[in-house]
Structure 1
Amino acid sequence: MRVAVITLAAGRARHLRLQQDGLAAGARTPDHYVVVSMSDPAVHEVVAGRQPAAETVTVPLSAAGRLPLAAARNAGAKRALAAGAELLVFLDVDCVPGEHMLARYADTARADALLCGTVAYLPPPPREGYRLGTISSLASPHPGRPAPAKTEVIRSGDHRLFWSLSFAVTAGTWRKVGGFCEDYTGYGGEDTDFALTAATRGVDLWWVGGAPAYHQYHPVSRPPVEHLDDILRNGALFKGRWGTWPMKGWLHHFADLGLVVHESHSDNWYKTRDARQTDHESGRPG
């Protein structure tokens, strides 16, 4: 089985280098490594001359300057399939693959199955950076997702728990799902949409033990207020397609901060006047 790894990058050069190192050190290395640059001209230089050899593909930002995450994943998959990939492994740029991640995905892969390995969120790195040999001891798998034993596979998973940090799908199953909906731009919603589309087309969700990835630390906002506009826009798109809102936890956090309000009769979320005023004063579009 020819295995392609696809990752998206915009900045995060240090994270991308360690991911490439992790792939090179794995028990199985990818047959094809596609790095999709989202309007970041430095990506090619970051991966050039290193192993595994990477092919770079460039996807422009949306007209509004938002990251085209869905379109970039589709572009990476298209290039990998054109090169003969039989298994597509999508790995977030912040994620370092475990030693046996690719081998476990390849051994487990079946038609009509969406495969997800565990992801552990690492603490801040020491001054000298993370070391591949000890990275697995630094954190446990995220408690919000199933964590099967090394040789275990949990089938019939909840598609709403799917996340795009680390997952794999056969070429045939990818074509059956149809890729990611490119109407989503910026942060949030496109991965849950993909998973629900997979469910409607008879694709099961499997949690695969022994296929870990390790998410490198970077500062984040909780809730992610910098993505408020993206979450509202993509959430409304998702509701139009599926009849319900995604990312409700973040929406309720925003409501607690007085940034959004829920209109119960229409089941819609809107920015508050205070949030729009803050956008106006800061010069941000609101």
Structure 2
Amino acid sequence: MKIVVVTVVSGRHEHLAAQVRGLRGSPEEQVDHIVVSMGDDAIVDVLARSGSAATCIEMPAQHPLPLASARNLGAAAALDRGAELLVFLDVDCIPGPEMVEHYRCAATLPGNGRSLLCGPVTYLKEKDIGAEGEALTLLTAPHPARPNPPVGAVEHGDNFDLFWSLSFAVGAATWTALGGFCEDYTGYGGEDTDFAATAEASGMGLRWVGGAHAYHQFHPVSDPPVEHLDDIVANARTFFDRWGRWPMIGWLDAFAARGLVEFDGSGIRRVVS
């Protein structure tokens, strides 16, 4: 099975280098890596210094970051290379040594062909910076909000809102049928929830793949992510217009509690400070 890993990136150079080293530890011999640079001219050098054979596709700089269109561009390049399985991996994530293999096995099981395949993700702490290889696997503690089946098991999911784009795999035919990520979304938030909603509406499945571990490298975050407020508000409106319900409710409620937006479930308005 021809497998291509797709990563989109702007900044996070050390995270990308660690991801490249993690992919080198994969036992799969037929794994290509496509990296889409969103206006970051340094990515080619980062890959070269890391000894990576990844293909770098460069996009012009845009603000907000064009996450959806960058993933679609990377996927198109992967399909041109004959990819049968696309593995999307956030630049912050280091793949576990058997992540790709577990995705491959899950993709070949009967009934999984028209499904989104998701692996568990462990969020590393600041004290874990630099952990790789065996030291990394010893830190395995997947995020409790998502299923974590036993290694080798594949669990059927029915809550598509739990899908996340940090780490997932999808067959080439399924990707083509879905049409990729909706490019009406720009910047942070909502595009992955929309992608999963499209899959559910299309009658596709959601599978949680035991053992397909990825490790999200530490970086400072805010909760709620106020630095992405404008993106989240705009993308929430787009999602509501497409699906008739609000995504990211927890964040929208938190923004409202801080007086940053007015949100009552029927509409949202950015409060001008």
TM-score tier after normalising by the smaller chain length: over 0.9
Deviation at 1:29, TM superposition (A): 4.6
1:78 to 68, 76, 79: 76
Matches within 5 A, 1:124-203: 124-125=126-127, 129-203=130-204
For residues 61 and 244 of structure 2, the distance between their equivalents in structure 1, rounded to whole angstroms, comes to 28
2:60 is matched with 60
For residues 51 and 132 of structure 1, the distance between their equivalents in structure 2, rounded to whole angstroms, comes to 17
SS in 2 for 1:155: strand
Q: Percent identity?
A: 51
Matches within 5 A, 1:37-52: 37-48=37-48, 50-52=50-52
Deviation at 1:155, TM superposition (A): 1.0
Deviation at 1:167, TM superposition (A): 0.2
1:282 is matched with none
Structure 1 residues 107 and 126, CA gap change in structure 2 (3 angstroms): closer
Note if contact 1:155-1:205 (Cα within 8 Å) is conserved in structure 2.
yes
Unpaired segments ≥5 residues, structure 2: none
Deviation at 1:31, TM superposition (A): 2.6
Note if contact 1:5-1:30 (Cα within 8 Å) is conserved in structure 2.
no
Deviation at 1:104, TM superposition (A): 0.7
1:281 is matched with none
For residues 10 and 125 of structure 1, the distance between their equivalents in structure 2, rounded to whole angstroms, comes to 24
Note if contact 2:40-2:61 (Cα within 8 Å) is conserved in structure 1.
no
Note if contact 1:23-1:30 (Cα within 8 Å) is conserved in structure 2.
no
1:114 to 116, 121, 124: 116
1:100 is matched with 98
* Cα deviation digits, residues 218-269 of structure 1 (max 9, x gap): 00011100111011100000000000110000011111111111245xx011
Deviation at 1:126, TM superposition (A): 5.4
Deviation at 1:67, TM superposition (A): 0.3
Note if contact 1:114-1:206 (Cα within 8 Å) is conserved in structure 2.
yes
Corresponding position: 1:36 with 2:36: yes
Corresponding position: 1:239 with 2:240: yes
Structure 1 residues 233 and 219, CA gap change in structure 2 (3 angstroms): same
1:3 is matched with 3
For residues 92 and 127 of structure 2, the distance between their equivalents in structure 1, rounded to whole angstroms, comes to 13
For residues 61 and 120 of structure 1, the distance between their equivalents in structure 2, rounded to whole angstroms, comes to 30
For residues 6 and 217 of structure 1, the distance between their equivalents in structure 2, rounded to whole angstroms, comes to 21
Unpaired segments ≥5 residues, structure 1: 278-286
Give the TM-score taking structure 1 as reference length.
0.91
For residues 128 and 76 of structure 2, the distance between their equivalents in structure 1, rounded to whole angstroms, comes to 38
AA aligned to 2:213 is: P
For residues 145 and 35 of structure 1, the distance between their equivalents in structure 2, rounded to whole angstroms, comes to 27
Deviation at 1:19, TM superposition (A): 0.3
For residues 135 and 157 of structure 2, the distance between their equivalents in structure 1, rounded to whole angstroms, comes to 33
For residues 139 and 168 of structure 1, the distance between their equivalents in structure 2, rounded to whole angstroms, comes to 20
2:25 is matched with 25
AA aligned to 2:269 is: Y
Deviation at 1:152, TM superposition (A): 1.1
User: Which moved further from structure 2: 198-207 or 213-222?
Assistant: 198-207
Deviation at 1:139, TM superposition (A): 4.3
AA aligned to 1:54 is: A
Matches within 5 A, 1:254-273: 254-263=255-264, 267-272=266-271
For residues 245 and 218 of structure 1, the distance between their equivalents in structure 2, rounded to whole angstroms, comes to 28
For residues 30 and 15 of structure 2, the distance between their equivalents in structure 1, rounded to whole angstroms, comes to 18
Give the TM-score taking structure 2 as reference length.
0.95
For residues 132 and 100 of structure 2, the distance between their equivalents in structure 1, rounded to whole angstroms, comes to 19
Structure 1 residues 30 and 95, CA gap change in structure 2 (3 angstroms): farther
AA aligned to 1:9 is: V
Note if contact 1:150-1:209 (Cα within 8 Å) is conserved in structure 2.
yes
Structure 1 residues 142 and 261, CA gap change in structure 2 (3 angstroms): same
For residues 118 and 31 of structure 2, the distance between their equivalents in structure 1, rounded to whole angstroms, comes to 20
For residues 260 and 29 of structure 1, the distance between their equivalents in structure 2, rounded to whole angstroms, comes to 50
